[in-house]
Amino acid sequence: MASGITCEANISLMWEGEGLCQRVVSIKTTLIWISAYFIICGVIPALLNEILWKTMKNGISAWLNLFTLIALNSIFIFVLNTRYQLKVRIFHNVSLSGILQALSTVILFYLLLDKLFDPIFDRVFVASAEEYIRAITQLKQFPVVNFIRVCLLAPVVEEILIRGYILNSLQEKYGVTNALLLSSLYFALLHFNFVQTLSAMICGLVLGLLYIKTGTLASCILSHSLYNTISYLAILGKL
């Protein structure tokens, strides 16, 4: 609901949404968010890992890199909350129905992506598939650290950013359909590798629909985390 508060150039009115008190923002603002996330939580940790952490013992370097990721992601979310007055309540509207729907999406992801589309993408986009395989073969070297990063940290931060902030902020100004498509595109682009990007676009659409349907980020985080866990364990089993 609009409150009549005057906001900055790229931010319009404050409205009361499901699970958050949110400012309506422009596409330009969300592009700034995604770019900042890419730099702060992607480029900077990678540089620190290459320049500093990899010079230390392997076990120590992996944990230092994880702590760096946790710290920078936390700072990013805190600054975004403070700067744009975004307030997400993760466990708002949690229900048994929402949990069951989240579990259903996990099964859908596994059947639709792991068993159907991913093998097709791998055959069509060979170079991207090989690059992705090289990346995942590194997971087994530090299984606990990578489990925390892939199955816990990433789902929480990405769902807060993509569904909690971007989807919510865009839908009041651009409509639910456009907000869903744009937020899913952003989610896909965050995965960089082309094969992953295609799969992530599908995941983004389903997770966005799950959020719109259930009105709670908890369902999206649960679905995202469980699917990553299943995929992660499957990958380790093959390596």
Q: Could you tell me the mean pLDDT of each successive run of 10 residues in the chain, 239 residues long?
A: 38 44 80 96 95 85 95 96 89 96 96 87 74 73 92 97 95 94 96 80 97 96 97 80
10 Å CB burial of residue 205 (0-12, 13-18, 19+) is middle
Say whether 239 sits in a helix, a strand or coil.
coil
What is the pLDDT at residue 129?
Answer: 65
Q: Longest Cα pair distance anywhere in the chain, in angstroms?
A: 57
What is the pLDDT at residue 13?
Answer: 42
**Interior/surface letters 159-192, b for 16+ CB within 10 angstroms, e for the rest:** bbbbbbbbbbbbbbebeeeebbbbbbbbbbebbe
DSSP one-letter code for 1: -
What is the pLDDT at residue 15?
Answer: 42
Say whether 3 sits in a helix, a strand or coil.
coil
What pTM value is reported for the model? 0.87
**Interior/surface letters 126-144, b for 16+ CB within 10 angstroms, e for the rest:** eebbeebeeebeebeebee
Residue at 166: amino acid letter: I
CA distance 153 to 146: 10
What is the pLDDT at residue 57?
Answer: 77
